Amino acid sequence: MKILAFSDIHFPSVLFKKNKESEKKYFLKENNELKNLTTFIKSSKIELVLLAGDVMGDLGKDVFFGAFSWLVEYLEENEVTTYYIQGNHDIDESYLKLSKSTDNNNYVKDISGKLINYNGLKILGLSFFDTENKTKLKKIISQKNKIDILLCHCQNGRRPFLFEFDTKYIITGHFDRQFYYIENKVFISFQGSESYSIIEFKKKSNNINLYENKTNDKFFDSNPNIWKAVLKNENIVWKSDSNIPISVFKNKKTTSGSDLQTIWKQHFEVVKYFNSFGYSKAFESCIPLLLKIKSDFKATSNISDELKIKCKENRFNIHIPVSTQTDFLGQECHKKLNSKS
C-alpha cells in the first residue's frame, strides 16, 4: 500500500472575486495544482492520502474555507481516500461545519480524535488541540491502543510524548521538516507543502521516500520526484545536497531593508540549515534518553548515575529546553535528574 503524507498547505482560493461560483468553476477545472496532485496520485498508485493539519489559514474564512471545501469536493469526486486532522489554524466555524459534513463522505474525512481502520491499517488522528492539552494527551496514551500510524499536528514541546504511543509511524505537521528512525518508530514532520513523503506500508518493513518540490510557492509540483531522503528498513540515506550549506547564506550579498522577500528567503535558508543539523541531532539523540529516564524513574523512583552521565555527555540540558524536559518527565523526575546526589 502506498501512502502520500503532507501538511500545512494553508490552502487559499486562487482568485478573490465576489462571484464564488465563477471562482469555484475556475478552481475545480483550471487549477493546475489540483491536476498535478491528482495526476501524481494516479501515476504513483497512491491508495491513501494523509493530511496532518493546517489545511486552512487565518486570512479570513472567505479566502480559505471556499478553497478547502472545493478541495474536499474534488478529492471526493475523484474517489481519492483522504484523511485529515485539525491544525491550530483550522479554527473557523466554517471549517468545523465542513468537517462534520465529511462524516457522510465515502472518501474524504476528518479523523481528529478518531481511531479508524483502513484495510487493516489502524490510524489514530489527533488534532493540535488534542496534543496541546497535556492531560488529554496523557489520557489518550494511557489507553495503550496498538496502532500503525499516528497522524497529528503537534507543537515542538509535546513531541516527546508521541514516542509513548505504540505505533510504527508518527506523522505530524505544524513545525519543522524532519525525518528520523528512533526507538523502532518512523518520525516525519512537515512545515508546508514543499515537502511530502510516500510511504510504502508493509507490516514487516519500512520503505519511505521523502521528497521536496522544485519550488516553495506551489501546493504541488508537476515534477515532484526530487527525493531528499530514503528510509529502507532501518537505514536513512540522505541526498548529498539535501541540506543547505551555511556558506550559501554567508556568501550572499546583504540586501536593503525594503527587499523583504529576499531577506525572508535568506532567513528561511538559515532556519532550515539549523533545523536540519542542530535540532535534528539533538532530537535524535535525546528522545531515547528521555524515554529511558522516564521509564527508569517510574520503575525505581530514582535515576541511575549512568543515565545522568549519559545526559551530560550528550549535552542534554542544552539540546532539549528545560521546559520540555520538565513537561515530559515531570517536575520531581527532572529535579532528581539534575541533582548532584
Mean pLDDT score, 11-28: 53
Distance between CA atoms of 249 and 105, rounded to whole angstroms?
47
Of the given ranges (149-153, 164-168, 200-204), which has the lowest mean pLDDT? 200-204
Burial pattern 178-188, b for ≥16 Cβ within 10 A else e, equals bbbbbeebbbb
What are the structural domains of the chain?
Answer: 2-238 (3.60.21.10), 246-337 (no CATH)
pLDDT for residue 217 = 47
Give the strand pairing for 185-189 and 178-182. Answer: antiparallel
Burial pattern 193-219, b for ≥16 Cβ within 10 A else e, equals bbbbbbbebeeeebebbbbbbeeeeeb
Q: 171: number of CA atoms within 13 Å, CB side?
A: 31
Distance between CA atoms of 188 and 152, rounded to whole angstroms?
11
Span 176-199, pLDDT tens digits: 777 788 888 888 888 766 667 778
- Residue 19: CB atoms within 10 Å: 9
pLDDT for residue 19 = 47
Grid coordinates representing 256 are 536593503
Closest among 196, 271, 181 to 231, alpha carbons compared: 181
Mean pLDDT score, 213-224: 51
pTM: 0.80
Span 291-328, pLDDT tens digits: 999 999 999 899 998 888 888 887 777 677 788 889 99
Distance between CA atoms of 232 and 172, rounded to whole angstroms?
20
